Structure formats: C-alpha cells, structure tokens
C-alpha cells in the first residue's frame, strides 16, 4: 500500500519537479554510521571527501538515457531486490582508507530527494543478501515515515 | 555464601530471565517481514561464525540490533546541513580546510588546462575526456574535485598526466 501511493505521488509531481536539482539527505542510521570512528569512516577528511562527492548527485538526471551516462562516470548500478529498486554507487580513491566503498541510495522522485540509505566496504560477495536486506528494510521504514508525515 | 552474594546471584538470574522473556516478546510482536529479515541475518551470522570472520559478524550484529530497535525514523538534515554538522568541531574544520585547499589547487590547474587546450565549453571538455556533460557540469558547478578515475579521464582530455591535476 505504502509503496503504491508513493509511486503514484511520484508520477503526479514529476513534471512539476523536472529541471530542479535533487536534494541529497542521509537517513538517521546512515548519518549515525558516518560519524568518523563509528563504523563507516575512519577520519573526518574521509567523511568530508565522500560528502563532497555526494554533491555531484544534485545533478542526477532523471530520464533513463542520461542516467546511464552519469552512471558510467560515477559508477552507479541499479539494484532490484524484494520488489524494491535502489542504486549503488561505488567510490574508490586515495582519500579512502579501504578500496571499494559502496553507498546505497533510494530516490524519491516526487520530492526530488536522493536518500542515502547505507554505506559499507565491499570485501566479498558473501554479504550481499544481508546488505540488500538491510537496505530494503531501511527504505521500507523511510517510506513509512514519509507516508505518516514524521519525515518531511 | 553470604546473603549479599546470594542476592546478587538471584538478581543476575532474574535479569537473565527477564532479558530472555523480553527477547521472546519482541520476536512474537515483531512484524513478519522483520522476522524474515532476522532469519536472513541469523543464517548469515552462522556462516560468518563458521568462517571466523569477525568483521562480518560485527556487521550482522549491528543489523540484528537495528531490527530489534523500536524507535522509528526521524527527520534529518540534507547534505548541506550534514556537512555543516561535520565541520562543527575543530578537527572537522581542519579537515574541511585541507580538502578545500586541495579542491582550490585542482580547480586552478583545471581552469588553466581548459584555457590552454581550447576546450572552452563543458561539452567540449566532456567529449575530449569521454565523460558525460552532466558530470563535468556537476564538477564545475559544485566545485568538487572528482575521484581519481574521473580525474584521469579529464587529464586524458587535456592530454596531460593525471598527476598534474592531482597535486
């Protein structure tokens, strides 16, 4: 039910929102995890470098063709899992203490908001299901919050 | 055994019972989807324990704790507010200044190379570098020094070594 109504509202608002830049927002848990020394990042510099990279997402193009173009540069991939669609961004740079930082996003097109859901360091493929389960769970909870108005 | 020790043992035993009972109640009252997620994590935890992978076990325990949490989502800042939060401490400000200096150096070289190479528009830079115009536009508008892979592509477009842009 929640999913359907959100999708409907996305379609309705989409034409009005076209051309506006996206907002990028972390969910509560992602914000908590990103505090240096509390899981995701080791240093403040690393955290701020990633935040700077996220500013590039303001310009995320909506239509599919251009999305793929941006995807090739920023190394995005679309993930479908349990009837949910989200995006995975891979970052790899000397500013990071490990290789292959993966960040997961859910896009709320109606409000032109890119929600950062989760981040983790990719080590093996074995955790994939657990990670996707966590991301989908958080998206569900976020949608619930948007629906009941506790997240504006 | 002293009376105090006996009481302490009894209290510990009661606490354990209470803890176990609370966990069972939480499981019974849990949303079925959350319970299904919990099963996924418990299976993965078994595998991680068998493989003696401490890092994965930690990750899974955090995920399990999150499922058991009762507090719902709350409103948070957008990226600008989040960045401001990160810069609120002395160490955060220092890190931001370092990064800003690095970004400034990158853009000084970028603008010089752009002028020298005659690639005066975003579209021309993008074509020469093999990047999308959106990416180049985003880099210029947001003044973000891109990750090394993109930086290499830009260097290729300007026909210089990547190290020139990465000082």
CB contact under 8 A, B141 and A24: no
The whole-number pLDDT of residue A94 equals: 87
A47 part of a folded domain: yes
What is the topology classification, in CATH, of domain B94-165?
434 Repressor (Amino-terminal Domain) (1.10.260)
Domain range for A135: 2-147
| Residue B69 at interface with chain A, using a CB cutoff of 8 Å | no
Distance CA A31, CA A29 (A): 5
| Residue B30 at interface with chain A, using a CB cutoff of 8 Å | no
The whole-number pLDDT of residue A6 equals: 41
- Report how many domains make up chain A: 1
Q: What length does chain A have?
A: 152
Give the residue on B whose Cα is nearest the Cα of A59. B138
In degrees, to the nearest 5, what angle opens at C-alpha A61 toward C-alphas A17 and A136? 85
ipTM of the complex: 0.79
**CATH number, domain at A65?**
3.30.2310.20
pLDDT in tens, B25-41: 888 888 888 899 899 99
Q: What length does chain B have?
A: 167
In chain A, which stretches have pLDDT less than 70? 1-19, 61-73, 124-127
With a pLDDT cut of 90, the percent of chain B lying above it is 50
What is the domain partition of chain B in residue ranges? 3-68, 94-165
pTM of the model: 0.81
Residue B59 pLDDT grade (very low, low, confident, very high; cuts 50, 70, 90): confident
Distance CA B58, CA B64 (A): 10
Distance CA B48, CA B55 (A): 9
A69 part of a folded domain: yes
pLDDT in tens, A44-64: 999 999 999 999 888 876 555
| Residue B160 at interface with chain A, using a CB cutoff of 8 Å | no
Q: How far does CA A31 lie from the centroid of its chain?
A: 12
CB contact under 8 A, B138 and A26: no
H/E element, A108: strand A101-108
């Amino acid at each position: 039910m929640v999913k359907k109504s959100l999708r409907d509202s996305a379609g309705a608002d989409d034409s009005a929102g076209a051309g506006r830049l996206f907002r990028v927002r972390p969910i509560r848990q992602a914000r908590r995890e990103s505090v240096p020394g509390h899981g995701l990042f080791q240093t403040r510099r690393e955290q701020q470098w990633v935040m700077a990279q996220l500013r590039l997402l303001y310009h995320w193009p909506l239509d599919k063709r251009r999305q793929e173009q941006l995807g090739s540069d920023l190394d995005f991939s679309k993930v479908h899992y349990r009837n949910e669609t989200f995006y995975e961004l891979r970052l790899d740079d000397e500013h990071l203490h490990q290789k292959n930082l993966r960040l997961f996003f859910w896009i709320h097109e109606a409000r032109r908001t890119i929600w950062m859901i989760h981040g983790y360091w990719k080590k093996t493929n074995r955790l994939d299901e657990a990670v996707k389960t966590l991301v989908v769970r958080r998206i569900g909870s976020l949608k619930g919050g948007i629906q009941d108005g506790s997240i504006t | 055994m002293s009376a105090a020790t006996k009481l302490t043992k009894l209290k510990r035993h009661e606490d354990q019972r209470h803890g176990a009972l609370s966990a069972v109640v939480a499981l019974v009252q849990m949303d079925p989807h959350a319970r299904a997620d919990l099963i996924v994590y418990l299976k993965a935890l078994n595998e991680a324990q068998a493989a003696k992978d401490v890092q994965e076990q930690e990750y899974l325990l955090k995920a399990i704790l999150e499922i058991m949490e009762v507090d719902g989502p709350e409103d948070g800042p957008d990226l600008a507010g989040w960045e401001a939060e990160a810069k609120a401490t002395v160490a955060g400000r220092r890190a931001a200044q370092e990064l800003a200096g690095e970004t400034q150096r990158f853009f000084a070289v970028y603008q010089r190379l752009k002028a020298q190479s005659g690639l005066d528009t975003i579209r021309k830079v993008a074509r020469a570098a093999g990047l999308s115009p959106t990416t180049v536009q985003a880099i210029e508008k947001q003044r973000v020094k891109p990750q090394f892979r993109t930086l290499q592509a830009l260097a290729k477009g300007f026909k210089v070594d990547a190290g020139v842009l990465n000082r």
